[in-house]
Amino acid sequence: MKPLPTLASFFATAGLLLAADAATKDDVKAAAKSLADQSSYSWKSSIENAGGGGGGGRGGGPTDGKTEKGGFTHLSMVRGDNTIVAILKGGKGVVKTADGWQTADELANDQDRQNPARFAARMLANYKTPAVQAADLAEQVKELKKDGDSLGGELTEAGAKSLLSFGGRGGGNGPEISGAKGSAKFWVKDGALAKYQFSVQGTMSFNGNDREINRTTTVEIKDVGTTKIEAPDDAKKKLQ
């Protein structure tokens, strides 16, 4: 008869398993930091709306991004039939319009509420590059576990609500979210974040109208250390 494991060895093994689970969040945050420490990188963000909910129009669409450490971040965002180009640096952002590069403050005075550039300018105030977003996303997961070649887990309700409303913009005037749930996955290669994905579902209610949301966002990192950004002089002046 094999001897039964001692109580000490049982708790030691359980402790190692718990430590392994807890370490996965740290692994993702470390991978995100490794990416942030690179001189530059590019990414492509794509959004898939199941069942047509969550409208890809103004609310979401593919984004091609580039960023340099301590330098500029360049975004090209497709929103419906429009492609919006924006540049950020030091917490400030400008959007390319028919009238040239404009700041968020300038676009805030635009009376055309359907102007996609006006909407983009509001979004830039809370924009997070992938390295920052992924680290925040890892904190919004209940528990991360190994899932094939990725680390995955379910989102907290608060995390899912925030992502359903694209970062929780709008404060008290924002939409009401119910039935929020979701999940996230992260892929790490050579110690750095290579890709991440999050899916959210729920009901968004605004002005008495309900919309069922089922949205998956995938962000793939590329051209690490070789990405270059050439910001136009007019945009640079606006960002000073």
79 in a structural domain: yes
148 in a structural domain: yes
Q: Look up the pTM and report it.
A: 0.82
138 in a structural domain: yes
Q: Per-residue pLDDT averaged across 183-212, rounded?
A: 93
Range of the domain at 121: 29-239
7 in a structural domain: no
117 in a structural domain: yes
16 in a structural domain: no
pLDDT tens profile 137-153: 999 999 999 888 999 99
Report the candidate in 89, 119, 92 with the shortest Cα–Cα distance to residue 107: 119
Q: Which two tokens stand for residue 107?
A: 């676009």
215 in a structural domain: yes
The domain that holds 224 is classified in CATH as 2.50.20.20
Q: How far is CA 65 from the centre of its chain?
A: 12
Q: Per-residue pLDDT averaged across 120-137, rounded?
A: 88
Measured on CA atoms in the order 104, 225, 64, 28, is the torsion positive or negative?
negative
**What's the domain count of the chain?**
1
